[in-house]
Structure 1
Amino acid sequence: MSLVASEVRWRKPSILPGFGLAFGLTLSVMCLIVLIPLAALVIKAASAGPADILAIATSPRTLAALRLSFGAAFIAAIVNAAFGLLIAWILVRYRFPGRRLIDAAVDLPFALPTAVAGIALSAIYAPNGWVGSIAEAHGFKIAYTPTGVLVALIFIGLPFVVRSVQPVLEESEVDIEEAAALLGASRLRTIFRVILPAVAPALLTGFVLAFARAIGEYGSVIFIAGNIPMISEIAPLLIVIRLEQFDYAGAAVVGMLMLLAAFLLIFLINLLQAWSRKRLGDV
């Protein structure tokens, strides 16, 4: 009896038929596009043997590349979360000349080829570039350093946060903010008690998307990073280097390490997002 009740709860009645067919197609597509390639990556990495896997995973060059990739991606996602929320707020709450132009420009990193973005960034932030020459005059170098990696990751991740938060701000009622002000709430209190709780789930979604995008970014980073081992070498570049050396198993090991670390971090962030939705309400 309990098994029947559990099945009834699992398969809720729907107006539209075809649950079995849709569910089967979903699983098939997920297996063909996602699960099977990832399983092949794990199998290829396992072919290297436990000793080689441990040696590659604990080598200083691999650890430095992973540290830079994940650390820069995390910092870039935090910066994008802050400025993406600000940009989305300005685009939704204010009307000014050139607003539609700025709104369209937000999506440019989506459409721009990553190699073109890397060349443009390196031209601007190189020691002889517009911004890089000014920074060089003050003793600060951007291009060909970890700072250059961070700049590239911020550039490619910003649209994810803006486009995640913008629809939520458009649907939120301005009357609630005005009511909070009429009740005596200060601007900071209104921001932290009214606005941020409403956009927090969407903001976390944008953060996760920007973080995940930045972890595997390659094209826009290699032109501005300098690719110096132990300093500005990212993990995707290390994979490409091993592939060029025909070390396919070693490349698969580094890829598997990135996959495991990214999965754990994104899983934890998704748990935090689910907790925030449950606590603050689904918006």
Structure 2
Amino acid sequence: MTTVLSSGPVPSGPTRRGAARVLPGFGLTLGISLLFVALIILLPLSGLAWQMSQLGFSDYLRIISSERTLAAFRVTLSAAALATIFNACFGLLLAWVLVRYEFPGKRLLDALVDLPFALPTAVAGISLVALYDKSGWMGTLLDGMGLKVAYTWWGIALAMVFTSVPFGVRTVQPVMESLSHDIEEAARTLGARDWQVFRHIVFPQLWPSFITGASLAFARSLGEFGAVIFIAGNMPFETEIASLLIMIRLEEYDFPAASAIAGTVLAIALFVLILANLAQGRASRHLNGGA
């Protein structure tokens, strides 16, 4: 007969010291991360802030409130808003198809979603012009219907849709893949229809990522340049975007004016992202029962 002696309970989890240090070398990795954030993000932003500091408040208002600048902001914001709404809805639909269904060519379609990230934006703009110009096969078809896309506001919105569509898909798709189907099946056994299941069970769980994707798509569309200028026509007061106006001011060596417009675009994008993060946090707390 063998007797097993025990001096105490065997710890079943990490020690207090191990639990406190989740990431090995945390101090070093944090320092390197902050260094690169300072060099890559904060340093360029500080240069923009320094340029804007050369302007008085009255000069800033004069630049921003000029008729041409307001027209450029109106074109940019309206096209970005339309592209964001489309990409948020289309991205949700495409993510649903990729996650919930099996069909031939699914992997190819999934890979094509990331194409706007890999493709240079200038190439995307040239391709859109070749496709939607009057001489292009799509442009010829639309021209016969009395519609024009290239060199119009619609062309700007189309280019923004193309460059920002991955955000609407990739932010929702991983969350959709992790959802459990048990609650959906239970709801159907209780008589809920498909639309009711999606509205009351599925979509509330996707809402935080849906907000994130929409805000990222809007921020990307707001600052888009390469894909837009080829198809926009770049007519002042009509199809001139804010990014192009910044470039024009730089070519005129009017650095304060360029900084004022760029700073305003940055402030708008940052404001939208902050609102999206607040809404995402509130939605997440609601899903977790207020925890």
TM-score when scaled to structure 1? Answer: 0.90
**Aligned counterpart for 2:205 among listed residues 198, 208, 220:** 198
Aligned to 1:104: 111
Structure-2 separation of matches of 1:70 and 1:154: 13
Equivalent in the alignment of 1:4: none
Tell me the residue number matched to 1:9: none
| Counterpart Cα distance in 2 of 1:47 and 1:36 | 17
* TM superposition shift of 1:209: 1.6
CA distance in 2, matches of 1:130, 1:203: 34
Over aligned residues, Cα RMSD in angstroms? 1.7
- Aligned partners of 2:73 and 2:242 also within 8 Å: yes
Matched, 1:45 2:45: no
| Cα separation, partners in 2 of 1:15 and 1:121, compared to 1, 3 Å | closer
Residues 227, 16 of structure 1: CA spacing in aligned structure 2 closer, same or farther, 3 A cutoff? closer
Query: Structure 2: which 5+ runs fail to align?
Result: 1-18
1:119 partnered with 2:119: no
* More displaced stretch, 18-27 vs 190-199: 18-27
Is the aligned partner of 1:279 residue 2:279?
A: no
Q: CA deviation at 1:265?
A: 1.9
Residue from 162, 166, 171 that aligns with 1:155: 162
Which residue of the other structure, out of 251, 258, 266, is the alignment partner of 1:259? 266
1:173 and 2:157 are equivalent in the alignment? no
- The offset of 1:82, in angstroms, is 0.5
Q: Secondary structure at the match of 2:273?
A: helix
How far apart are residue 190 of structure 1 and its match?
0.5
C-alpha separation between the residues in 1 aligned to 2:172 and 2:114? 14
- In the alignment, the residues of structure 1 paired with residue 196 and residue 208 of structure 2 have an alpha-carbon distance, to the nearest angstrom, of 19
Give the Å deviation of 1:146.
0.9
Give the structure with higher Rg (CA): 2
**1:85 aligned to 83, 92, 96, which one?**
92
User: Residue type matched to 1:172 in 2?
Assistant: L
Match for 1:46: what amino acid?
A: S
Q: How many residues align?
A: 271
What SS is found at the alignment partner of 2:240? coil
2 CA distance for matches of 1:120 and 1:21?
45
> Per-residue deviation at 1:154?
0.6
1:127-172: CA deviation from partner (whole Å, max 9, x where unpaired): 2322222222222211111111100111111111211111111111
- For residues 190 and 125 of structure 2, the distance between their equivalents in structure 1, rounded to whole angstroms, comes to 50
Q: Paired residue for 2:5?
A: none
Give yes or no for the alignment of 1:136 onto 2:143: yes
Query: Which is further off, 197-206 or 234-243?
Result: 197-206
Q: Contact 2:151–2:232 at 8 Å: present in 1 too?
A: yes
Q: Which amino acid aligns with 2:83?
A: A
Distance 1:63 1:46 in 2: 21
The answer as to whether partners of 2:208 and 2:279 remain within 8 angstroms in 1 is: no
Report the counterpart of residue 26 of structure 1 in structure 2.
33
Aligned partner of 1:208 in structure 2 is: 215
3-state secondary structure, aligned to 2:171: helix
Distance apart, 1:192 and its partner CA: 0.4
Match of 2:80 in 1: 73
Give the match for residue 3 of structure 1: none
Please give the secondary structure, in 1, of the residue aligned with 2:268. helix
* CA deviation string 1:48-93 (max 9, x = no partner): 3333322111101111111222221122111101011111111111
State whether residues 46 and 53 of structure 1, in contact with CA within 8 Å, keep that contact through their aligned partners in structure 2: no
Amino acid at match of 2:227: S
* Runs of 5+ unmatched residues, structure 1: 1-11
**Percentage of identical aligned residues:** 49
Amino acid at match of 2:170: R
**AA in 2 matched with 1:136:** D
1:17 positional shift: 4.9
Q: 2:194 aligns with which of 178, 187, 197?
A: 187
Judged with a 3 Å threshold, the aligned counterparts in structure 2 of structure 1 residues 16 and 225 are, in CA distance, closer, same or farther, namely closer
Stretch moving more, 174-183 or 138-147: 174-183
Preserved contact between residue 98 and residue 110 of structure 2 (Cα < 8 Å): yes
Q: What letter matches 2:249 in structure 1?
A: R
Of the three residues 238, 243, 248, the one matched with 2:250 is 243
